[in-house]
A and B are shown apart, each in its own frame.
Chain A
Amino acid sequence: MERSFAKEIESLKLGEGEVFEGEGILAVTKAALQAGVSYVGGYQGSPVSHLVDVLSEAKEIMDEYGVHLEICANEAGAAAMLGASINYPIRGLVTWKSVVGTNVASDALSNLGSVGVVGGAVAVIGEDYGEGASIIQERSHAFAMKSSLWLLDPRPELGTMVDMVEKAFELSEASNTPVIVMLRILACHVQGRFVARDNRIPKISGHNKIKEPVYDLMRISLPPGTYAQEKAKIEQRMPAAKRFILDHAMNETFEGDLDDIGIITQGGLYNTVLRGLNRSGLADFYGKSRVPIHVLNVTYPLIDEQLNEFCAGKKHVLMVEEGNPDYIEQALNAILRKADLQTKIHGKNVLPMAGQYTADVVQTGVAKFIALAKPKGVDTGRAASLPDEIASLKGKAAGHLGTPVPVRPPTFCTGCPERPVFSAIKLAERDVGKSHISCDIGCHTFSTLPPFNLGNTVLGYGLGLASSTGVAPNFERRVISIMGDGGFWHNGLSTGVASSVFNNDDSVLIVMKNGYTSATGWQFLPSSPKNGRFEEARMSIEATMRALGVKWQRTVQTYDVAKMVKTLKTALTTAEKGLKVIIAESECMLAKQRRVRAERAERLRAGKRDIRPRFGIDDDVCTGDHACIRLSGCPSLTIKPSTDPLRSDPKASVNNDCVGCGLCGEIAHAAILCPSFYRADIVSNPNRIDRWLTRLRGAVITRLWSPEARRIGGGLAGAILEPEASSRRAA
């Protein structure tokens, strides 16, 4: 979708000594240019989408340096792109959301990790872990360990992040190994500053191409190469990496006067640890801590001698490592044991095994550690009392509130074209019964939340249909699978559709065709519409389905609920065997509104006629049952206090955010719900015919009002006739 990143692009052009101010992920993008990358690739996903989004607009820079940008079909494609660095000394950076993206990329990563690289190969992954995460909770750490890739977890300060990305390329080249730079959500979104360096023009690029291919059997992942590669990982690459990490001081140690204790932390958690110490009275705001801190900007591999040196002479050391399992803590214990050091390691005994390490979690862990370690000359009382203070604060608030505040889960946007599909499923269920629904990843996963509560499994991106193939033959009714157009192109096309057709599976697939990968910020897809027109898309999902051999296929406009219900019922009950595909088509409303609003504003500015539809509810007809909300959940369909003295339940109400998608009317009809809804078409800059018609209608309608119709409201006061005021303004 069209957005402007002009400001961001300007900051990518900064030169030596100039100050960059902006977001973390943009700083990483700048770091890639400073490191002289030749190619960049990625698959969108919060929190790293921005990297590719911005570069795809930065044509000027990319052309100048001859850097290629690939919008990859999925994360596997992005990881495979790093294959360029296997044989050629060129630097490349790819990005995706982790852990899910790394799962998809892992085949390519394993091969890449085995073969090794000669050019710097870096994957920047956005670790979506903890509060606000939208995916399964796992660590990406294990991927680095199993494939012998180096893992960086830099301190969340822009200068350090940028340095680490640049060093990652050097480390990759020095040790012939791809490097993963892991950034947590908050670090990607952090607003900070760093002093820029000049961008480096890559030696090999689109302007200066590779002349000859390099053939080397030992760089193919086939025996005998694979055996040699496995050995090289341990005998050459790992030692080289450790040497580089030590020589370039990639990990940092901050000394402190309480030298019989210490804290080792993942780089990404350093700020939280320091501030936790600050609140315990053991550090200031400027990195000066009384407790020595060793910061692991590289979390894999660990450098034994560095850790031994830090721990030597310390009675207690706290390992701050987010997530489960505690790989680093286990390794640390083993390293110290081998060196015969008796330092007691604390970690998951005072910190939680699972979940995000937020400020109070870390602070509580640090407090417990201090209480256990009892460093000399420190009053541990302050640290010890902090957790109680927080608990009492929360307790007090809970006491005032009485009952817990209701949650506010994410839901479909106002006017979302996917919502009507789930309304339709609810309505179809009334007639044909409930069936199993295999959901997929995308905005449509929200169907599993209230008010729809539709969906029985979610197995991964593009896997909606594939995940139904075991249950379908064993289920009483025909099962439904859901897939977005993003998921379809990501891998659902082959894993789902092709496989189902090949196996003659008998089920129903609904493809949500809204035109973009909307959940990650409206990135384009092969089937994205042009100016909202699907017929002008570069690739057609319908044609692809046909080519794959899908016989039963219907494209339905999502807002046509009645037709959708009918199509669904047919698909679920027809005698025809095989895969039945319903393509639920309508452009993402947010994308559409960005375009439509601008066009409308232009029309209004020019004084041209414009009609804006929106919905409303007659308060006096609504009885406050809210069945409409349970079938829709649209944010603009809300409630307001009742003004009826006889009824206390709040009335349904449509607020001014309504985009007039039409679902309310469709549901009122399809569900035979309630006559309270009306659609109002607001005509701006009406022409003469409009005005004349309105006057005429007003004049006639006024005469059609009987005295009874002129009552103001319900009560006896309302029963008093009110002859003039209303009729005058009827028009």
Chain B
Amino acid sequence: MSPRTTKAAKPVKILIAAMGGEGGGVLTSWLVNAARALDLPVQATSVPGVAQRTGATSYYVEIVPTPRTKLKGREPVLDLYPAPGEVDLMIATELLETGRALEKGFVNPKSTTLIASTHRVYSLTEKMAMSDGRYDDEKLLEAAKNMAKRAILFDIDKAAREAGCILNSVILGAMSGSDLLPIPAQTFEQGIRDAGKAVEANLAGFAVGRAYAQGKIIEAPTKAKAKAKQRPVTVDREAETLRKRIDGAYPGALRPLVMEAAGRCLDFQDARYAGLYLDRLDRVYGAETARSTVDVEKKGALEVTDETARQLALRMSYEDVIRVAQLKTRASRFDRVRREVKAAPEQLVRITEFLKPGPEEFAQVMPAFLGRPVARWARRNPAKARRLHFGMHIRSDTIFGFARMRLMAGMRRMRRIGFRYGEEQRAIEAWIELVCRATSENRALALETARCAKLIKGYGDTHKRGTDSFAAITAALIEPALAGAPFTAAQVAQAREAALADPEGDALAKVLAEITGAPVERVAAE
């Protein structure tokens, strides 16, 4: 005798992968209440653990599609755990959590409908990486599409914001619209009304979710950022001259990048400085096009120039106090801040800046003969130097605060006599020289040499560490390689990645020691 089962009485299994604090419990209770309203046997449970924080949290619900009265006293045995391969409806409130659900086998191409949001809430490991530690979204999306019987994927977070409701009401709508639940939309809507919180907004969100699931709204593929609106402009004569020079000297594929880069230098200092930028880039471009029959219009043909164009502009627009003050007093910034902090038109916004200059920052703008000894002292006595920093809270929306910042930005005109300017230009020259030499000898190495400049960024200790890492790689690998040592571009790349692996510099020291066979001292800590 085999147990008799009726098809209708098979429970619908729903797994919700959420993050602590998103209110997955609210979503679950809506589901449970709807099932109860129809007298459908239902069970739900959760592993909140440390729920108020941001850990991954999941909720599991089983609903029997037959009302209790029709079960003739039989009591369904509902599971507390989702079983891999058996989930009918998988919900993920975020894209990475979708990946986690896939990994655990909860999405079965034969039977699982997946409703997932395409937005990302980055995990700490992704956020704290020293460069780009983000998981590949494309992989997640592709996996989701391939693994689900039906995938309903859209930016639920955005849809909820647009509807002015919480994430959960859009998800509930999508669940309802998937037609997998034995619960009509009206029951859910009634549940939202009964809950009595933000009823209108949540009903709107519910409708949007349903429409997405039913294919009535199709999310437009994310377009490249819409161009800024054309506004009436007057033309900057200096910019025009530079533009003409670039148009004449560089192939079409490179032009937008070089324009952006030269413009950055023009903005940082002046037209003469932008000219210096182009002079430097010309040398690299010359070296790269001289070496063989290069088709300059072909994509990827000028990798070294391309990378150098980027890094050179960033190096030449280094972040000193003058630059920071300049960027923070830009006319367009007030609007940007208002947008960023989501201030409504009728609200006012006050802005406070946190600056804490110390001996090094002052040394940077002093003439070299004064700045050098100060900088040297600060570098040798970091603890003492740290104590000499003084914190400033500047209200840059007030007249006095703003004027102070403008004054700092105005020091741009004196930048060339400053200690740091000289130091930076010397370092940049040496690097450009290295790139040029490598380009004619070993193009792959040249590309890596250009890329290594990426390490130099940030402020204070971060900047020091990056500079030291760059110097260490240059001295240990790049220069010896150009002098005939058997180090490869791949090894330089490996060292560059290691430099970005940990702020203590342990990984870099280890990799350099491995490659060169000589112990290398680690670079300064964070």
Contact = CB atoms under 8 A, between A and B. Distances in A.
B405 to A, nearest CB: 9
A680 B349 contact: yes
A190 B80 contact: yes
Interface stretch (B140-148, B169-177, B477-485): B140-148
B84 A405 contact: no
Given A618-B327, A709-B331, A724 B19 contact: no
A626 B130 contact: yes
Contacts of B146: 400
Interface string B377-421: 000000100100101010011110011001001000000000000
B220 interface: no
B231 A360 contact: no
Interface string B338-374: 0011111011111111111010000000000000000
B45 interface: yes
B259 A715 contact: yes
Contact of B128 (A287, A404, A451): A451
Contact of B314 (A279, A647, A710, A723): A647
Nearest to B146: A400
B86 interface: yes
Contact of A405 (B4, B100, B459): B100
A638 B122 CA distance: 7
A46 B51 CA distance: 10
Contacts of A407: 123, 125
Contacts of A400: 102, 139, 142-143, 146-147
Given A279-B86, A625-B462, A705-B331, A722 B233 contact: yes
B123 A724 contact: no
A720 B386 contact: no
A373 interface: no
Given A413-B52, A709-B331, A621 B239 contact: no
Interface string A708-723: 1111111111111111
A393 B107 CA distance: 8
A648 interface: yes
Contacts of A285: 5, 9-11, 64, 76-78
A40 B291 CA distance: 86
A292 interface: no
A556 B526 CA distance: 25
Interface string A393-404: 110111011111
B36 interface: yes
A716 B349 contact: no
B420 to A, nearest CB: 16
A605 to B, nearest CB: 14
Contacts of A717: 259-260, 263
B128 A633 contact: yes
B342 to A, nearest CB: 6
Contact of B348 (A624, A654, A694, A710): A694
B425 interface: no
A600 interface: no
B124 A714 contact: no
B54 interface: yes
B81 A272 contact: yes
B503 A630 contact: yes
Contacts of A519: 50
Given A665-B352, A711-B330, A274 B77 contact: yes
Contacts of B140: 401, 405
A227 interface: no
A279 B5 CA distance: 12
B104 interface: yes
B124 A359 contact: no
B457 interface: yes
A270 B86 CA distance: 18
Interface string B234-271: 11101100110010000000001101111110110000
A692 to B, nearest CB: 11
Given A678-B354, A720-B239, A726 B331 contact: yes
B233 A359 contact: no
A133 B64 CA distance: 29
B263 A719 contact: yes
B2 interface: yes
A457 interface: no
Given A397-B103, A412-B53, A645 B257 contact: yes
B83 A669 contact: no
B134 interface: yes
A619 B352 CA distance: 16
A16 interface: no
Nearest to B271: A719
A649 B348 contact: no
A705 B334 CA distance: 12
A714 B234 contact: no
Contacts of A191: 28-29, 32, 42-45
Contacts of A646: 257, 260-261, 264, 310, 313-314
A284 B122 contact: no
A347 B400 CA distance: 78
B69 interface: no
A213 B183 CA distance: 60
Contacts of B48: 46, 132, 189
A11 B77 CA distance: 24
B289 interface: no
Given A359-B82, A627-B462, A701 B399 contact: yes
Interface in A438-469: 443, 446, 450-451
A668 B461 CA distance: 12
Task: Please indicate which of the listed interface residues B128, B256, B354, B458 has the most CB atoms of chain A within 10 Å of its own CB.
Answer: B354
Interface in A636-693: 637-639, 643, 645-650, 654, 656, 665, 668-669, 671-675, 677-684, 686, 690-691
Given A406-B135, A680-B337, A701 B402 contact: yes
A633 B128 CA distance: 8
A619 B327 CA distance: 10
A448 B349 CA distance: 38
A255 to B, nearest CB: 11
B153 to A, nearest CB: 14
Given A190-B80, A616-B340, A714-B264, A674 B459 contact: yes
A287 B402 CA distance: 75
A682 B125 contact: no
B328 A621 contact: yes
A406 B335 contact: no
Contact of A627 (B314, B317, B526): B526
Interface in A264-293: 270-272, 274-276, 279, 283-290
A358 interface: yes
A406 B125 contact: yes
A272 B246 CA distance: 70
Contact of B126 (A614, A639, A677, A696): A639
B475 interface: no
B131 A649 contact: yes
Given A650-B134, A720-B234, A401 B330 contact: no
Contacts of B54: 408, 410-411, 413, 635
3 closest A-B pairs by beta carbon, nearest first, are A400-B143, A716-B263, A715-B260
19 contacts: A131-B47, A191-B32, A271-B78, A360-B83, A401-B143, A405-B100, A408-B96, A410-B55, A443-B50, A621-B319, A627-B526, A647-B310, A649-B131, A672-B459, A701-B397, A709-B406, A714-B267, A726-B332, A729-B334
Given A413-B21, A618-B336, A621-B324, 11 more contacts: A185-B47, A285-B9, A394-B84, A408-B97, A630-B503, A643-B225, A674-B459, A678-B337, A683-B347, A709-B406, A720-B233
Interface of A: 21, 46, 131-134, 156-157, 185-187, 189-193, 257, 270-272, 274-276, 279, 283-290, 358-360, 363, 389-390, 393-394, 396-398, 400-413, 430-431, 443, 446, 450-451, 519, 562, 590, 614, 616-621, 623-627, 629-630, 633, 635, 637-639, 643, 645-650, 654, 656, 665, 668-669, 671-675, 677-684, 686, 690-691, 694, 696-697, 700-701, 704-705, 707-727, 729-730
